[in-house]
Structure 1
Amino acid sequence: MPSLSPSLFLLHVAGAAALLLWAVRLVRTGVERGWSADLRKLLRGSAEYRLRAALAGTGAAVLLQSSTAVAILVAGFVASGALPGIAALSIVLGADLGSAIVARILLVRMDWVVPLLLLAGVTLFLRTSRLELRMAGRVLIGLALIFVALSMLRAATGPLVSSPGVGIAISYLGNDLFTAFLIGGLFAWGVQSSVAAVLVFVTLAAEGLLPAPVGAAMVLGANLGGAMIAHVLTLNAEISARRVIRANLVLRGGAAVTVLFVLSLMAPPLDLLGATPATQLIVLHIVFNLVLMLVGLVLASPVMALAERMVASPVAQARIARISALDPEALTNPDRALTCARREILAMGESVEAMLRPVMGLYRQWDEATAQAIRDRDAEIDRMHIAIKLYLARLTRSVGDDDTIARRILALADIAVNLEGAGNTISDTMLNLAQRRERLGLAFSDEGWAELCDFHDRVLANAQAGLNLLVTMDPDAARALVVEKDRIRDIEQQLQRSHLERLKQGRVESIETSNIHQETLRALKQVNAAFAMIAYPILSETGDLLSSRLSRQTG
C-alpha cells in the first residue's frame, strides 16, 4: 500500500478478510456437496472407541476446514440417537484439533501454486458433469483464493509495522492480555470462523504487528469464540445435542481461560515454541488443541455428566398454538398467496424431518413416548395438508386462466401431497416395523444395522437439502438433489442385494429380520423421493428436465 490512509487501509483489510471468509466457505461447501454422505458415514462409524472417534473428527475438520461444521453434523447425529454423547464429544474435540491443523497448512507460503490450483479448479468445475469432480474443482478454487486473501492481508498490513499509532495500541494490549483475549474471541465470533481468525492473527504476527504474547491471547480467545459459534447455532437443538456442544464449550473455553491466566501471571517463554512470533502462535494453537483433545478424552464421562446437569430436561410448559401461514387476505394477491402456501409447506416439511430424525432410534430401542410424538406430528401434518389443499383450491378459483400461476399452484400441491405421504410412511410403515422388531425380540446383524443407519442418514441429509431448496429455489441445488435421488435408488438396490447375500449365507439375524430390513429400506427410499420432488418444478422451469430424466446437458 502506498499510503497509510485509514480509509484505504480498512478497505484493503476488509476486502482481504471478506475474500478469506468466502474462500473458506467455498472449500467447506464443496466438500459438503461432494462427499457429505461419506463424511457422515465416517463420523458415525467411529463411535466405538474414543480415540478413533477423535481422529475421525480431526480428519473431517481438515476436509471441511471448520470444526463448527463437524459439531453441527455431530449434533444432528446425537439428536437422532445415532451417536452416544461421549463418542460425539470425542469427535468434536478431534475436530477442534483438525481446525488447528488446517490453519497450519494454509499458512504455508505457496504463491506459485495459486495459478495451478485456479487452472485445475476452474477446468474441473466448468468442463465436467460429475458432481464429485465439479466439487473437487470448487475446493481447489477455494484453496487458491485462501492463499490470495492471505497475500492481500500481508500486503495491506505491511506498511503498518512502522506506524506509531499501531505501536501504542500493541503496547497497551501487551499490558492487558485479557482485552486481547476478548478481541480474539469477538473477532472469531464476528467472522463465524476460528480458522479465519487464527489465520489473520498469525499473518499479523508474521508482519511484525503482533508480539507473541498478544497474539497468543488472541489465539486463545479465538478458541473460545469458535466454541461459542457452535453453542449458539445449536441453542434450539435437542437436549442431548446441546449437552455435547455445551461440554465442548466447557472444556475448550475453560482451557483457554486457564492458559490465559498462566500466560498473564507467569509469562512463560514462548520462544520454546518457535523462532518467530508467527510460528509460536500456530504451534501454540495446535499444541493447545492436541492437549485439550487428549485430556478431554480422559475426562469425557465426568464432563458429559456436568453438561447433563447444566442442560436439564425442560419442565413441561403450556404450548402456544402454531399460527398457520395461510393468510386468507392474501388470496387477492396470487404472488403473496403462493408465498404463504410455500411457508406452510416448509413448516410441513420440517415436521416430516422432525419425524424422520428419531425414527431409527426406535429400531434399536422402542420408546412409546417418542413413537406417540411421531404419531402426533403425523396427525398435525395431515391437518396442514388439508388446509393447504383448500387454500390452493380457493386461489385457483381466484386466478382464472393465468397458466403461470396455475402451474405454480399445481407444483406446490404436488409437493404437499408428497410430504404428507412421507409423513404417513414414517408414522405407519416405519413405526410398525420398529414395534414389530421390539415385540418379537429380534436383532439386526451388525452389517445390516450399519447399512440401515447409513441409509437413513443419507436420506435425512437429502431431506434437509430439499427443505433448503424450498427456500432458495436454486437450480444447481435442485440438480444435485435429483442426482442424489437416482443415487439413493441405486444404493437401495445394492443394499437389497447385500441383504440377500447374507440370507444365502444362512445368517440367523438376517433371516429373522429380513422383512423388516427390506421394508425399511423401501420406506426410506419413498421418503427420500418425496423430498426430491421439490426439485422437479424448479428444473422444469429452467428446462433441465426431459420427459422423465434430468437432462444430460446440465452441469
Structure 2
Amino acid sequence: MQNFAGDKQSEVVNSYLEKPIRVQVLDENFQPKEGVKVFFDVLSTPKKAKNAHIEPNVVLTDKEGYAISQITLGSKSGEYLFSAKIVNNSLSNNLLIFSSEARKSNWVFLLVMGLFGGLGLFLFGMEMMSDGMKKSAGDQMRTILRKLTHNRLMAMFIGTIVTMVIQSSSATTVMLVSFVQAQLMTFTQTLGIILGADIGTTITGQIVALKLTDYALLIVAVGFAFTFMGKSDKLKNIGETVLGFGLLFFGMDIMSHSMYPLRTYQPFIDLLLVLENPLLGIFVGAVFTALIQSSSAFTGIVIVLATQGLLTLEASIPMLFGSNIGTCATAFLAGIGASREAKKVAYAHILFKFVGVFIFVWFIPQLAELVRWVSPQGNEELTGMALLAEVVPRQTANAHTIFNVIMAFLFLPFINQFAKIITKFFPDVEEPKELEIVTWHIDYAIIETPTMALELAREEVSRMFKIVSRMLNATLHPFVSEEIIDDEIHTNLSLLEGIRLREQKTNYLNEKLTDYLLKISREKIQDSQAVEVFVTLSIVKDLERIGDIVFNNILPLVDKKNKTGKDFSEEGKEELASYHKKVMKQVNRCTKAFTTLDLNKARKILIKGSKYNDLEAIYRLKHFERIYEEVAESIATDEVHLELIDYFKQVNVHLENIAKSILVEINNEVEE
C-alpha cells in the first residue's frame, strides 16, 4: 500500500480537508489490486477535541487499486493523526499514517498578531541590546572613528567593531555622513569603514541563529536583575544588554510559534517556493528592509521562517541580497540635503551594495554550496521540513556573513577607484563657507547616538573658541593704531566689520548648540554624559558672553576714544597691549584644555587668571599715577582706559569659569 495523496494538510477546526485521503494498493508485482478492504480510522487528536472523523471508514479498492476517504477535523486546534490499513498478510506495508493540522478559526488574526507583536519585541530587544552595548563602550566609541590611519584593513576592522556595537550598518553610515559633513573625516577614510560596517551588521544574524529561544525568559530575568539591582552604571549597562538579548530571542520565539500553522498552509509554501527566483527574492528583501529600515531585523525574520522549515537556503540567499540593497534607503535619506562630501559617503554605501549583489546574484548555487560546506551538518535521520528547520537557520546567518566578508575583501583593494567613480558624480568645488552663519559640525540625525552627538557638539564648541579668539584678538588694534586694516580672514571686510560678523556667529552658535545639547540631554544618556552636556552648555554661555563683551562693550569704546581726540599714553598703550596679550594666552590655553581635556592646562588657567586679576589692579594704579602726574593723554582717555582694561579683566574671569567647567568634566571622566 502506498501513500498517494492527502498527507500533511491543514484547515480550520470543524471543517473538511480540501483533499481527500487517497491510497493505492499494489500486489507483489506492483500491479493495482482491486477489491481489497482498506480500513480508515482516527488515531489521535488534540486533548478534548470532538467530532473528528473519517468517512467512509471502510473502502474497497477500485480497478486502479485506489481507496479514497474524506477527513473532517475536530473542534480543537493541533495535530490529528489518521490511519489507513489493510488486513492481508500477503501484502507489504499494511499501515500508513496521515497527519493533518487543525488551525483555530481566527488563525490569521493570531498569526498577524504574533508576527507583528514578536517583531516589535525583537526590534525593541535589539534596540535595548544596542543601547546597553553603546553605554558599556562609553566614550571609547566617541573617538574610535576618528583615530584612523590610512590603513584600509584597520578602517575595515573599526567599521566592523563599531557596527557590532550599534547593531546597524545604516546607523554607522549615517554617523559617517555626519562626521564627513562636520569635516572630522575625509570621504576616502570612510570607505574602509563602510565595508567593515557591512560585516559588523551580520553579527546580529549569527546571534539570532543561536538556538536560545527556550532560554529567552531566563536571559530576560538575568538581564532584569542586573539592570534594576546593579549598583554601578557598568552593571546596569551589562544588564540592559542582556535584557535586550533575551527580549530579542523572546520576540523571535513568539514569531516562530505564530508561523507554525504556515508549515502546512499550501498557498504560503507555494509562495516561498516562488521566492527561489532570485529577482523576486531580492525585490521582497529590499522592499521589506527599506520599510523597517533594518537589515538585521529582516535577517532575523528570514531565520525565523527557516526555523519552521519553510525556507531552503537557495530561497533565503536572494532575500538576504535584497536586504543588503534595502538597507541603502537609510543612507540615501541621510545624504539628502547633506554636503557634497557627505553625499559621497551615502552613495558609496549604495554603490558597494548594488555592485556586490549584482556580482553574487550569478553565483547563488556556488555560494549555497560554500555555505553548506562551512556550516554544521544536520541530523542524518531528519528529512524534509524537519531537516530544513535544523540546518537552514545557521546556513542563512553564515550566508549573510560570507557574502559581506567576501564583498569587503573583494572591494578593499579598489577603494581609490571607487572614490574616483563617486567623485565624478560629485566633483569637488569651492564652497564658500566662512561668511555663512551656519553650524559646521552638529547634526541632528545623529542625536540618537549621544556619544557621537556629543563629539560633534565639542567640535562645534571648538570652532566657537576660534571665532571668539579672533574677535578678541582684533579688539586691540583700533585702540593702539590709527591705521585702518582689513579683517585677518575676510579681506573684503574691515576689522570692525569682521568683529560684527563673528558676534552674529557666536549668538547663532549659542542658540543652536543650546538647542542641540538640550535635545541630547533628553536622550537615554548616562550620568557622566549628562554632566558633560551641562558643562558644555556652561562653556558655550561663557563664550557667548565674551563675544557680547567684545561687541557690546569694547567695540563702542573705539568711537568714545576717537571723540576725545587723544591717544593713550605710551605707557598706557604698553600696559593695555601686555594685558591683552596675557588674556589671549588664556584663550589659547582654554582652547587646548577643552579639546584635549588637559588637567594641567586647566589648572594653569586658574593660577594665571588669579595673577592677571592682580596685574589689572597694578596697571590701574599705574594709570592713576599718570593722572596724578597730569599726563595729558591719560587724563583725556581716563574713562576709556579704565573701562577697556576692566572689560579685558571680565573676559579673563569668564575664561576662568570655562577652566572650572573643564575641570568638572575632567573629574567626571576620572570618576567614570
Instruction: Report TM bin, short chain.
Output: 0.5 to 0.7
The aligned residue for residue 118 of structure 2 is 16
The aligned residue for residue 467 of structure 1 is 519
Q: How many angstroms does 1:192 deviate by?
A: 1.3
1:292 aligns with 2:407: yes
Question: TM-score, normalization: structure 1?
Answer: 0.61
Q: Which amino acid aligns with 1:309?
A: K
1:212 aligns with 2:313: yes
1:302 aligns with 2:450: no
1:6 aligns with 2:115: no
Larger radius of gyration: 2
**Structure 2: how far apart are the matches of 1:79 and 1:183?**
33
The aligned residue for residue 74 of structure 2 is none
Q: How does 1:13-412 map to 2 (within 5 A)?
A: 13-111=115-213, 113-128=215-230, 130-174=232-276, 176-263=277-364, 271-272=372-373, 274=375, 275=377, 276-312=391-427, 356=460, 359=463, 379-380=503-504
**Could you tell me which of 576, 584, 590 is aligned with 1:519?**
590
Gaps in structure 2 of 5+ consecutive residues: 1-76, 79-102, 378-390, 438-452, 471-487, 538-583, 598-653, 662-667
- Kept in 1, the 8 Å contact 2:129–2:242? The answer is yes
**Structure 2: how far apart are the matches of 1:20 and 1:84?**
36
Q: How many angstroms does 1:128 deviate by?
A: 4.0
- Kept in 2, the 8 Å contact 1:74–1:88? The answer is yes
- Comparing both chains, which one has the higher relative contact order based on Cα–Cα distances under 8 Å and sequence gaps of 6 or more? 1
**Structure 1: how far apart are the matches of 2:515 and 2:156?**
27
**Structure 2: how far apart are the matches of 1:155 and 1:377?**
65
Q: Which amino acid aligns with 2:519?
A: L
Q: How many angstroms does 1:178 deviate by?
A: 0.8
Q: Which amino acid aligns with 2:411?
A: G
1:373-428 superposed Cα distances (whole Å, 9 cap, x missing partner): x99985555676xxxxxxxxxxxxxxxxxxxxxxxxxxxxxxxxx925x98xxxxx
1:483 aligns with 2:585: no
Q: How many angstroms does 1:195 deviate by?
A: 0.7
- Kept in 2, the 8 Å contact 1:39–1:60? The answer is yes
**Structure 2: how far apart are the matches of 1:95 and 1:295?**
15
Q: Which amino acid aligns with 2:402?
A: V
**Structure 1: how far apart are the matches of 2:153 and 2:195?**
10
Residues 131 and 514 (structure 1), Cα distance of their counterparts in 2 relative to 1, 3 Å cut: farther
**Structure 1: how far apart are the matches of 2:143 and 2:302?**
34
- Kept in 2, the 8 Å contact 1:124–1:133? The answer is yes
Instruction: Give me the identity figure in percent.
Output: 17
Residues 358 and 86 (structure 1), Cα distance of their counterparts in 2 relative to 1, 3 Å cut: farther
**Structure 1: how far apart are the matches of 2:298 and 2:330?**
13
Residues 41 and 316 (structure 1), Cα distance of their counterparts in 2 relative to 1, 3 Å cut: closer
Q: Which amino acid aligns with 2:141?
A: L
Q: How many angstroms does 1:232 deviate by?
A: 1.8
- Kept in 2, the 8 Å contact 1:79–1:358? The answer is no
Residues 483 and 357 (structure 1), Cα distance of their counterparts in 2 relative to 1, 3 Å cut: closer
Aligned residue-pair number: 397
Q: How many angstroms does 1:26 deviate by?
A: 1.2
SS at match of 2:336: coil
Gaps in structure 1 of 5+ consecutive residues: 323-348, 385-417, 424-461, 490-512, 534-549, 551-555
1:209-240 superposed Cα distances (whole Å, 9 cap, x missing partner): 12222211000111111233223233233322
Residues 484 and 189 (structure 1), Cα distance of their counterparts in 2 relative to 1, 3 Å cut: same
Q: How many angstroms does 1:360 deviate by?
A: 10
- Kept in 1, the 8 Å contact 2:208–2:249? The answer is yes
Residues 264 and 283 (structure 1), Cα distance of their counterparts in 2 relative to 1, 3 Å cut: closer
Q: How many angstroms does 1:137 deviate by?
A: 2.0
Residues 157 and 41 (structure 1), Cα distance of their counterparts in 2 relative to 1, 3 Å cut: same
**Structure 1: how far apart are the matches of 2:466 and 2:129?**
36
**Structure 2: how far apart are the matches of 1:354 and 1:518?**
16
- Kept in 2, the 8 Å contact 1:273–1:284? The answer is no
Residues 159 and 75 (structure 1), Cα distance of their counterparts in 2 relative to 1, 3 Å cut: same
**Structure 1: how far apart are the matches of 2:280 and 2:529?**
47
**Structure 2: how far apart are the matches of 1:58 and 1:77?**
17
**Structure 1: how far apart are the matches of 2:536 and 2:110?**
52
Q: How many angstroms does 1:522 deviate by?
A: 4.5
**Structure 1: how far apart are the matches of 2:401 and 2:129?**
21
Tell me the C-alpha RMSD between the 2 structures: 4.4
Q: Which amino acid aligns with 1:84?
A: T
Q: Which amino acid aligns with 2:590?
A: E
**Structure 2: how far apart are the matches of 1:132 and 1:218?**
38
Q: Which amino acid aligns with 1:520?
A: T
**Structure 1: how far apart are the matches of 2:123 and 2:501?**
39
- Kept in 1, the 8 Å contact 2:198–2:404? The answer is yes
Q: How many angstroms does 1:304 deviate by?
A: 1.1
- Kept in 1, the 8 Å contact 2:195–2:408? The answer is yes
Q: How many angstroms does 1:129 deviate by?
A: 5.5
Which one is further off, 177-186 or 65-74?
65-74
- Kept in 2, the 8 Å contact 1:244–1:304? The answer is no
Question: TM-score, normalization: structure 2?
Answer: 0.51
- Kept in 2, the 8 Å contact 1:46–1:52? The answer is yes
Q: How does 1:438-477 map to 2 (within 5 A)?
A: 464-469=516-521, 473=522, 477=525
**Structure 2: how far apart are the matches of 1:33 and 1:480?**
11
- Kept in 2, the 8 Å contact 1:82–1:361? The answer is no
**Structure 1: how far apart are the matches of 2:501 and 2:337?**
18
Which one is further off, 213-222 or 275-284?
275-284
**Structure 2: how far apart are the matches of 1:188 and 1:194?**
6
SS at match of 1:44: coil
1:283-309 superposed Cα distances (whole Å, 9 cap, x missing partner): 221111101111222111110111112
1:520-542 superposed Cα distances (whole Å, 9 cap, x missing partner): 14456899x99xx9xxxxxxxxx
**Structure 2: how far apart are the matches of 1:253 and 1:102?**
22
The aligned residue for residue 477 of structure 2 is none
**Structure 2: how far apart are the matches of 1:77 and 1:149?**
34
Q: How many angstroms does 1:250 deviate by?
A: 0.5
- Kept in 1, the 8 Å contact 2:190–2:345? The answer is yes
The aligned residue for residue 392 of structure 1 is none
Q: Which amino acid aligns with 1:291?
A: I
Residues 158 and 381 (structure 1), Cα distance of their counterparts in 2 relative to 1, 3 Å cut: same
Residues 164 and 235 (structure 1), Cα distance of their counterparts in 2 relative to 1, 3 Å cut: same
